[in-house]
Amino acid sequence: MPDPIQPTDADAEQQAAETVAGEPATGEDAAPGAAAPAAEPDTPAPADEAPAAEQDAPAEQDAPADQDAPAEQDAPAEPEAPAAEPQGPAMGEPVIERGFGRVDADGTVAVRDGDAWRVVGQFPDATPEEALAYFERKHTELEGQVRLLEQRIRGGANAKDVAKAASHLHETVQGSSAVGDIPALLARLDALRGTLGELEAQQQAASKADLEHAIAERTQVVESIERLAAGDLGDVQWKQMMQKVDVLFADWQRLQKDGPRLPKGQADALWKRFRDARSTLETARRKFFAELDASHKDVRARKQALVEQAQALAPKGVDGIPAYRALLDQWKAAGRAGRKIDDALWAQFKEAGDVLFAAKAEQAAVDNEEYAANLVAKRALLEEAAPILELQDRAAARDALLSIQRRWDEIGRVPRESLREVEDRMRAIETHVRELDEQHWKRSDPERKARSEGLAGQLEEAIEALEAELADAKDAKRKAEIEAELATKRSWLEVVAAAG
């Protein structure tokens, strides 16, 4: 029988790395180019247990019961393991027994399976320590996979995914050719699978709550845009309105991207409501600007006509100013034609008016030079009339004012910029004289005087009666009332006397 190839430490490390990566290492994967050690069943296997025949390591081979059947030599390019035979070699006298495993002198390794031993493979042409260590490493790899599933559960992994992986690993551990506490690994897997049902229920409840919250958030966004669409769209600042719509659309996209996925029916229904509301706003906006464009065209035509009329007034000079002011009133009532068009047309309209007011300014400059002497004369006349403000004699004040007014009119016009100054000073003098006349009329009005005297007499009689009553009064409270009434009537008498 040809000598089998013994696995190296590098082969074992390669198999361990592949197992940690998520795929249990097989005999072929563990050491490419070498024959796998043959898995042999225990000869005295119980009737209810199937003998294990596995391809475990690069150096193992199946051995017939009489040890005489030749083993197939590995091909140089593609090694193949011989098929497992119904009966494996019997376990020889153990050389090493450690923990859950033992190995005999031929490299046959067994694992403790309850009260019996189950052969898991053979590693000839290696020391017993190396053979046992190889199959113990396989148990370590399986334990690492169990520990990884436990960590995934603690990390909040999806319970369904973990349950599927745990079921697959449970099957792998049950038939594994590894040396170690296999029942403990199975017990950990059973405990892990037992918690998965509760974890899945919790995750489903959390997922349902997240879904309800996501539906509520998206419904709120939809209702917000529907409220905008249901408002009065005839009186809307469309720039601000569309900014609100853009914000709501950004919120919708964010919830679609970052939030949980909604069922298709609910997602489609909410999106249809959002889309319909936004379409309503877009339609109203387009209609508004279409009507605005039509209005702007009409206003532009009217303002263009006003510009042409204003420009036609230029030859009239100062005499064209009243007509220009009438055109300005029409301009203000014409409405708006768009900012750019309005600005351009207004520049032309104003330029036509500037021509007229420039002519007026030239004429005013001529007039100011002509009326400068009149201004000096009127200022001197106002200085002369200033003492009238101190007079209280109505007749004297009126006579003085008449003389001043006659000479005022004879002087004539003054420069426009000084007109308000001299007119205000003259008006103050006239107001003083008019007030003196009014005061005299109030005092000399016969009817008013008669009314005043009659009321004064009545008050005097009432006061005398109250004074007599006060002298006879004994009650303090009554005295206080009489005194208060006396004070009131005396104040009235003073007012009547002052008016008379």
pLDDT value, residue 85: 38
pLDDT value, residue 133: 86
Question: pLDDT grade, residue 5 (50/70/90)?
Answer: very low
Pick 428 or 52 by higher pLDDT: 428
Q: Which residue has the tokens 């009737």?
A: 47
Q: How far apart are CA 439 and CA 333, in angstroms?
A: 49
170: pLDDT strictly greater than 50 = yes
Q: How far apart are CA 288 and CA 495, in angstroms?
A: 69
Question: pLDDT grade, residue 124 (50/70/90)?
Answer: confident
Pick 292 or 269 by higher pLDDT: 269
pLDDT value, residue 273: 92
How far, CA to CA in Å, does 394 sit from each of 388, 400, 402, 445?
10, 10, 12, 16
Average confidence (pLDDT) over 201-214: 73
Helices (H), 60-181: 128-154, 159-174
Amino acid at 55: Q
pLDDT value, residue 274: 92
> Tell me: the pLDDT tens digits for 475-484?
888 888 888 8
> Tell me: the pLDDT tens digits for 315-326?
888 888 888 889
Average confidence (pLDDT) over 255-263: 83
> Tell me: the pLDDT tens digits for 28-45?
333 333 333 433 333 333
Q: How far apart are CA 356 and CA 364, in angstroms?
A: 12
Chain-centroid distance of CA 395 in Å reads 81
CB neighbour burial string for 8-42, b if at least 16 within 10 angstroms, e if fewer: eeebbebbbebbeeeebbbbbbbbeebbbbbbbbb
Amino acid at 218: R
On whether the CB atoms of residues 81 and 61 are closer than 8 A, the answer is: yes
pLDDT value, residue 9: 40
Q: How far apart are CA 194 and CA 87, in angstroms?
A: 37
209: pLDDT strictly greater than 50 = yes
Specify the range with the lowest mean pLDDT, choosing from 87-96, 114-123, 269-278, 462-471: 87-96
Pick 14 or 207 by higher pLDDT: 207
Chain mean pLDDT for the chain: 74
pLDDT value, residue 24: 39
Pick 40 or 289 by higher pLDDT: 289
pLDDT value, residue 375: 84
CB neighbour burial string for 288-311, b if at least 16 within 10 angstroms, e if fewer: eeeeeeeebeebbebbeebbebbe
Q: How far apart are CA 165 and CA 150, in angstroms?
A: 11
Q: How far apart are CA 209 and CA 46, in angstroms?
A: 53
Q: Which residue has the tokens 């030859």?
A: 315
Helices (H), 107-158: 128-154
Q: How far apart are CA 360 and CA 390, in angstroms?
A: 41
Question: pLDDT grade, residue 90 (50/70/90)?
Answer: low
pLDDT value, residue 83: 36
75: pLDDT strictly greater than 50 = no
On whether the CB atoms of residues 154 and 192 are closer than 8 A, the answer is: no
Q: How far apart are CA 301 and CA 306, in angstroms?
A: 9
Return all residues near 186 (Cβ < 8 A) that are at least 6 apart.
170, 173, 174
